[in-house]
Amino acid sequence: MKNASKNILLGLLASCNLMSCQENNATHPKSIELTENFKTYWYQGKAEISTYKLSQNRYNELRDGTATLIYVTEDFLPNIQVKADNASPSNIPVLKLNSVKKFNTGVYPYSIMQSTFFPLKGESIHALKITASIQEWCGQTFMQLNNKNEFEIKTHSYFASEGDQNLKLEKNTLENELWNLIRLQGAKLLPQGEINCIPSFEFLRLLHKKTKSYKATASIKNENDLTTYSLVYPELKRTLKITFQNSPPFIIENWSEEITPYPPTTAKRITTKLLPYWNQNSNTFTTLRTELGLQ
């Protein structure tokens, strides 16, 4: 993996105010301006890797595991919506989040990965693309959103009731993109109050819920040096809480997901490192996994 050259990125960032977006969710931010703190931290040619001790609810039991949040800036091709192989002024810089979970259910393992590509310039203030995949011994599911005139979503599943689906949704807040918004400016850009929100792709697939916007109540609570963002979905009987540092770079400390009446899923940060991990793929770098708390 290679980031675009620093000179081109700085040129792109010089005009990185995002334009207004017409949507029904009036509480979603209408513009974003990158701060100098953001540029200094995120354009070092490294990814930020944070690991978490995970307690994952699955089949009404808690499973020990690990969660990893990998944030990195990279160039993105706006038309075909994939990572750019070469630097170009027509590319769109994005903050990408790869969110990974690993845990076991009895004898067999689960692996979950969600990727969210959030634009740092352009006409959209929503994620340009989201993908999610879930693998376990029974089979696998895959889900992808592309931000076009509408949200275009494709779902592939081994479950007969879900199968292969194609649908379009009007643009509303995406739960997956909130994790990127936090890293931009902390609580400042997070929507509050009564909102329409598409839940995380992980939740929709694990719980086999209909892919659509749901009514949610969003709120923010500050305590000492931390801020907690809460999303309550009455119809889903689900509450998500994300706690993060309230100063740059707004590192996420922990989160919880409670779905009544089941035990809550929780994740607590182990450590955070800045690494050019794509260049660290030889066996000599295996010790970094131990430092990150990964097996």
- The residue ranges of every structural domain in the chain are 6-185+272-291
Please state, for a pLDDT cut of 90, what percent of the chain lies above it: 78
Reported pTM: 0.89
Which DSSP category does 19 fall into?
Answer: P
Task: For residue 135, count CB atoms less than 10 angstroms from its CB and return exposed for 0-12, middle for 13-18, buried for 19 or more.
Answer: middle
pLDDT at 208: 94
Write out the DSSP string of 38-94.
HHHHH-SS-EEEEEEEEEEEETTEEEEEEEEEEEEEEEEETTTTEE-SS--TT-EEE
Residues 260 and 273: their CA atoms lie apart, in Å, by 35
Residues 254 and 195: their CA atoms lie apart, in Å, by 23
Of 147, 148, 92, the C-alpha closest to 120 is 92
pLDDT greater than 90 at residue 143: yes
Write out the DSSP string of 128-187.
SEEEEEEEETTEEEEEEEEESSSEEEEEEESSTTT-EEEEEE---EEHHHHHHHHHHHTT
pLDDT at 29: 62
Q: What is the mean pLDDT of the segment spanning 22-47? A: 77
pLDDT greater than 80 at residue 16: no
Which of 45-59, 68-82, 206-220 shows the lowest per-residue confidence on average (mean pLDDT)? 68-82
pLDDT at 295: 78
φ, ψ of residue 101 in degrees (nearest 5): -125, 140
Which of 73-77, 151-155, 202-206, 214-218 shows the lowest per-residue confidence on average (mean pLDDT)? 73-77
pLDDT at 27: 59
pLDDT band at 106 (very low <50, low <70, confident <90, very high): very high
pLDDT band at 28 (very low <50, low <70, confident <90, very high): low
**Hey, CA dihedral for 71, 72, 76, 78, is it positive or negative?**
positive
pLDDT at 223: 94
Residues 160 and 283: their CA atoms lie apart, in Å, by 42
pLDDT at 24: 45
CB atoms within 10 A of CB 39: 16
- Measured CA distances, 55 to 67, 80, 104, 106, 137 (Å): 9, 37, 11, 14, 20
pLDDT tens digits, 40-70: 999 999 999 999 999 999 999 999 999 999 9
Which of 113-127, 186-200, 257-271 shows the lowest per-residue confidence on average (mean pLDDT)? 113-127
Q: Give the amino acid at 109.
A: P
Which of 153-167, 193-207, 210-224 shows the lowest per-residue confidence on average (mean pLDDT)? 153-167
Which DSSP category does 284 fall into?
Answer: G
Residues 87 and 4: their CA atoms lie apart, in Å, by 5
* Average pLDDT for the chain: 89
pLDDT at 31: 62
Residues 204 and 93: their CA atoms lie apart, in Å, by 28
Residues 238 and 114: their CA atoms lie apart, in Å, by 19
Structure tokens at 21: 């977006």
pLDDT greater than 70 at residue 1: no
How many residues are given for the chain? 295
pLDDT at 82: 85
